Chain A
């Protein structure tokens, strides 16, 4: 069977991606180079204004923090899932997938209700005497991180779980009989074997976080402006399509570079997958 024949099975998907992705991106690229006139002036403007760079930096820091938090919270969850019995595993998968049951907008507003000045969380904290005055949990970086981590967690947990559940227990057992206490066993054997899952999960969470709009817009403060919000402001408030397109292209380029980097690391780490 010639390999090429199966290629056609992917054709519908490829056509769809071509239509809904490549065409608009091509149009954006064109726009960024031609609006209001031909040239690189839109890109020059982005790099000339610290404000824009600041927003890029914000975006990277927020996406990075969300990724790190998801990894920190998600690894133990994935580990538990991989080592739980069949019922425990199903329960955890169910819990992990709950966020997908409601729309992003609804969830974000729910966080707003929970986290605001006289919201449920603050009331519990104050009433129980844990804090004297309500905490500022929303309209700042903390609010953005809480809202985004909750939404992004499944994208970390599921790829991690897929890898962890395939790490055969005999590797850990072998390490133990060779004299490795639990911490060394984890650090030298389990963790390295789980890295492909770590990289996949991180790539997924980081790249999808770069383009977030609703959560930072509703839960963040002025300091937490992300690139997607900036793009909308440029179009909605200023009708500056050229600059908005340039920002979008830079974001896309950044995501592509990140993805390529993750792939490089993953390829170098390919061995533990076998």
Chain B
């Protein structure tokens, strides 16, 4: 990675006895799109506010282009921030809102006009100069807030759940527009969301937050394929968990004992005898007739179909395995072909060892 634009070193924020953010560290590369993903209350907003300068960290250091950020008040940081609630100034027109950061920088009138016009073009709302925020739809307000946050060419763009208030269709459309803008402007972005699909679609890298800490930071595939903790496996996408005891440890793999079954998966740093859990994605499991042979590189368990849910593009099978654990399996729905497996049928579940991850329980 090139010299990072922003670096957080052991940043911490404590309110009374609540640890809102505990020892968060990460570096944001130039032009990178980093998403902070986590459940509500996990410290994402607080982290963002500390970068923006609106909340003072209790401990830790922040560097912008290698220089300490902490002594700078927010108005000197040159960091754009889009709030979830947009925070457009209600007493100013769209043009006045967008011109505001430029006026604060002492730009002359013609330059302000030129840049305001260009920013409106960029967000696809040319001609909206004289509207007031309350004359705009939610999606339009969002675009104006975005225009206002990028018009002064900030070093960094922060967005706090900017699409949270929009309906699904508009949200997906805006995701694509924000990605396009990110490419076009080559700007470094920290994006906050609690929507895992949004994070997977948009990000170069994702930092998964849990109770004020980063559980795992990595590229979307990495997090999805190689979750480092049960929390990540559960929060990002859907996972099945087979609890057990780590038996054989060594190399890249680990074998656990789950009831009478032996299951294997990739793992790191587990000790034999430790309580463990094997995680596998529902779409990696294949349903086969009972007693079907599995390869040496595959895990298998037997069970009985409890329920089938038609989801349009796929079917979700709920299979109860012999010890009572319920496992979800996704199968692509292919045309109008009738599924060969029905509720109550005995089945064998088969999936590749390399699609399984063994984590400490």
A189 at the interface (CB under 8 A from B): yes
Closest chain B CB from A171 CB (angstroms): 6
A180 to B148, CA, bound (A): 13
B residues in contact with A168, CB < 8 Å: 85, 87
The 0/1 profile, CB within 8 Å of A marked 1, for residues 52-95 of chain B is 11100000000000000000011111111101010101110000
Within 244-274 of A, Cβ neighbours of B (below 8 Å) are at 271-272, 274
Is A271 a contact of B54 with CB atoms below 8 Å? no
Tell me the complex Cα distance, A192–B91, Å.
Answer: 7
B132 beta carbon closer than 8 Å to chain A: yes
- Whether A179 pairs with B104 at a CB distance below 8 angstroms is yes
Known: A178-B152, A179-B101, A179-B152. A173 touches B87 (CB 8 A): yes
Known: A170-B83, A193-B91, A271-B91. A177 touches B74 (CB 8 A): yes
Pick from B53, B85, B89, B90: contact of A177, CB under 8 Å: B53
Q: How many residues of A contact B (CB 8 A)?
A: 21
Known A-B contacts A192-B91, A272-B91; the reply to A177 vs B54 at CB < 8 A is yes
Q: Is the CB of B89 within 8 A of A171?
A: yes
Q: How many Å from the CB of A183 to the closest CB on chain B?
A: 11
Cβ-defined partner of A176 (8 Å) among B73, B80, B89: B73
Check A177–B91 contact: CB distance below 8 A. no
Hey, which chain B residues are within 8 Å of A274, CB to CB? 90, 134
Q: Please name all residues of chain A whose beta carbon is closer than 8 Å to the beta carbon of B90 when the two chains form the complex.
A: 193, 271-272, 274
| B135, closest chain A residue (CB) | A271
Given that A170-B83, A174-B81, A271-B90 are known contacts, is A181 also in contact with B75, CB under 8 Å in the complex? yes
Interface string of A177-217 (1 = CB under 8 A from B): 11111001100110011000000000000000000000000
Known: A271-B90, A272-B91. A177 touches B77 (CB 8 A): yes
Q: Determine the residue in chain B with the shortest Cβ distance to A174.
A: B87
Report B100-118 residues with CB < 8 Å from chain A CB: 100-101, 104-105
Of A174, A176, A180, A274, the most chain B CB neighbours within 10 A belong to A174
| A189 and B91 alpha carbons, distance in the complex (Å) | 8
CB distance from A48 to the nearest CB of B (A): 47
On whether the beta carbons of B87 and A170 are closer than 8 Å, the reply is yes
| CB-nearest residue of chain A to B81 | A177
| Cβ of A87 to closest chain B Cβ, rounded Å | 16
B91, B101, B149: which has the most chain A beta carbons within 10 Å? B91
Contacts of B148 in A (CB 8 A): 178
Q: Which A residues are within 8 Å of any B CB, using their own CB?
A: 168, 170-171, 173-181, 184-185, 188-189, 192-193, 271-272, 274
Interface CB pairs A-B, < 8 A, 28: A168-B85, A170-B87, A171-B89, A173-B54, A174-B83, A176-B53, A176-B54, A177-B53, A177-B74, A177-B75, A177-B77, A177-B80, A177-B81, A178-B101, A178-B148, A179-B76, A179-B152, A180-B75, A180-B100, A181-B73, A181-B75, A184-B104, A188-B100, A189-B89, A193-B91, A271-B91, A271-B134, A272-B91
- The 8 A-B residue pairs with the shortest CB-CB distance, nearest first, are A179-B104, A178-B101, A174-B87, A176-B74, A272-B91, A177-B81, A170-B87, A192-B91
